[in-house]
Amino acid sequence: MWRRRMVSPELLKVLDGTVDLHCHSGPSPFPRRIDHVEASYDGARINMRAILVKSHHHNTVMDVLAMKTQLKDAPTPVYGGVALNSEVGGINPSAVAMAINMGGRCVWGPTVSAGQHIRAHTHDDGFPSATGNLYEKEESIFNEHGDVSADTDTVTRLVADAGILLTGGHLHGEAMKALFKTASGNGVKRLLLHHPDYIVNAAENDIEEMLGYGAFVEHELAMYHPEVTAVGWPIEQLVDWITKIGPRRTVINSDLGQQGNPLPVDGYLLIVQQLLDHGIAAADIRQMICRNTAYLLGLEESI
């Protein structure tokens, strides 16, 4: 159990209204420290505005609806979506349509079923393991001819019609660029590139192209937290990213909730204070954790 740190009023003011788009609360076949209801109460410690709960394996909108009694009086609204991994049929318009019709706010591109992810995790690098064999297979946005598949095109149209968030998941740079180009052409306005320097390893020119399609670039508190041993990057690396991309196109989310890791709010308390200490302006931090994230979740029509 992590000790609760003393929190200054100035820090709480910066964090007020945070929207976390990357909370790994449970249920999940990966071990989780908290469930979605507990995540809502954790968020209240900094007056979070909303949480998007993510599973690599199933539609989390179902979780939120199943927990509606417990969440009814919970302090932080919780939203869900669907990740297009093999557990839901991969690039599956039916799975996307169902998630949207149930109130989903996000469609994640393939993560644990992306070839880039599978190649990155063929060794023991600290990425969590599921309990039992899930019989996952690689999923691609391309057809047998190397073109963006008809199902991928349909998925992007469904996302555009619903006005919700589409992320590139853990796709490699070329695939993610193709996905975002198709999505942008079909009218998707909310696009997100996850952790470009972790698993995805997007090249600088790839990121520039994706920014041109309207994408935001996400970084995760978990990767800079000293108590998360899987990555453990120095805070200066995050400061460099913010300086390079700019606060208006950067988002910072927790990527926390896993068993053995700090709670999401503890991640915000530590890393946001470090950003302040390294000269990132409070207004810029709020742009990245409150305004941009609220727009991507559909809580605001514009930034």
CATH number for the domain that contains residue 273: 3.20.20.140
* 2 falls within a domain: no
Q: How many domains does the chain have?
A: 1
Respond yes or no on whether the N-terminal peptide bond of residue 234 is cis (omega within 30° of 0): no
∠ CA 162-115-117, rounded to 5°: 85
> What is the pLDDT, as a whole number, of residue 232?
87
* 273 falls within a domain: yes
Q: What is the DSSP letter of 288?
A: I
* 186 falls within a domain: yes
Give the structural domain span for 162. 17-122+138-296
* 302 falls within a domain: no
Per-residue CA distances from 52 to 34, 106, 162, 178, 294 (Å): 14, 8, 17, 25, 10
| Residue 216, SS3 per DSSP | strand
> What is the pLDDT, as a whole number, of residue 2?
43
Q: Which sign does the torsion angle of CA 160, 82, 251, 7 carry? A: positive
The low-confidence residues of the chain, meaning pLDDT below 70, are 1-5, 121-131
> What is the pLDDT, as a whole number, of residue 118?
80
**What is the model's pTM?**
0.94
* 130 falls within a domain: no
* 58 falls within a domain: yes
> What is the pLDDT, as a whole number, of residue 38?
98
* 129 falls within a domain: no
Cα separation, 232 vs 198, whole angstroms: 12
